[in-house]
Structure 1
Amino acid sequence: MAGESIEDLVARVTAERGTMITAVVPAYRVDVLVQRLEMVLDAAFGGAGPDVEVRLVLGSACTTAARAVDQFVAALRLPYAAARGWGDFTDALGDRPASLRECVVVADAARLLEHEDRDLWRELVSRLHGGPHCLGGGWNTLVLADDEYAWQEWAFKAEGTPPGPVR
């Protein structure tokens, strides 16, 4: 499994907005990835509309549902009420505007919800990407980034490979 360059990954995120992308990105390159995404996505899609928000979440801080709620509520700047539990959190995700243009990068992504079942993991990642939305033009892209070894040791590997291409 070979990692792609940061520029190639940024180009892929730009071209495939609204999707979930998994990638091999060493921890020391995550900051560079986030900075490049902020610049490129704003230049490409910020223009007349709202700026593109790029958010960083640490998967290693989200190993359980309760911990994930706290981390995502803070990173996505959701209302405080969303921190009350999983249901309130997912409701808040669904209540965001259709015009929102957002890219969420999860570093240490192989650790995301590793102490939960795969169905909960699937629910979370499915709610974190989508679009482009026809009314409002917004989209939500999810980038799951971790190093090659972490993907090989991924908690859900026995149930299948990480979703999407891991390069």
Structure 2
Amino acid sequence: MKFISIKILKQAIVEIAYTMALSSAFAATIFNATTTVQVSGKVQSVNTNTRTVTVINDAGIRESFQVGANVQGLDKLKAGTKVVGSANRSVRLTVLDSSPPVVPPSPNGDQTIARVAHVDNQNGFITLVDTTGASFIVQTNPPEASASVIPGTRVLVDLISAAPAAQ
């Protein structure tokens, strides 16, 4: 009798886990967006052919940015020069739920959990507040994707890559 009960219990646990995995896999809403981030650090290298500048920030993290054609004097920018500016970055948002954010940002800054503070469905702008209390705005691509969230919703924000615009 004991043997049958344990077998049935194990089978039930496996079925529940499978059902939960399936429901969460299909329930997740994922969409792409763009946000503007501050860039600061020391120039490590400059490639004038590709208009790419590699910067090492104060945390020692290396990031490369493709600089727009509107930036003049790229050929005069030397390694070690302190730079400050902004860059557009592509992000992927995964809708989680409406509970308060509890996961801290990743150490390398590539991922964080944020709460939706405001949604502009007409233009596709979403204001997010991360776990440190910092707010930032993303623009969804396409703009209609912003309709999948409401204020209070939690989202996982994944940095995809640098977009080709730094100032």
TM-score above 0.5: no
Of structures 1 and 2, the one scoring higher in RCO (CA 8 A, sep 6+) is 1
Normalised to the residue count of structure 2, the TM-score between the two structures is 0.23
For the pair shown, the structure with the greater C-alpha radius of gyration is 2
More strand by share: 2
TM-score calculated relative to the size of structure 1: 0.23
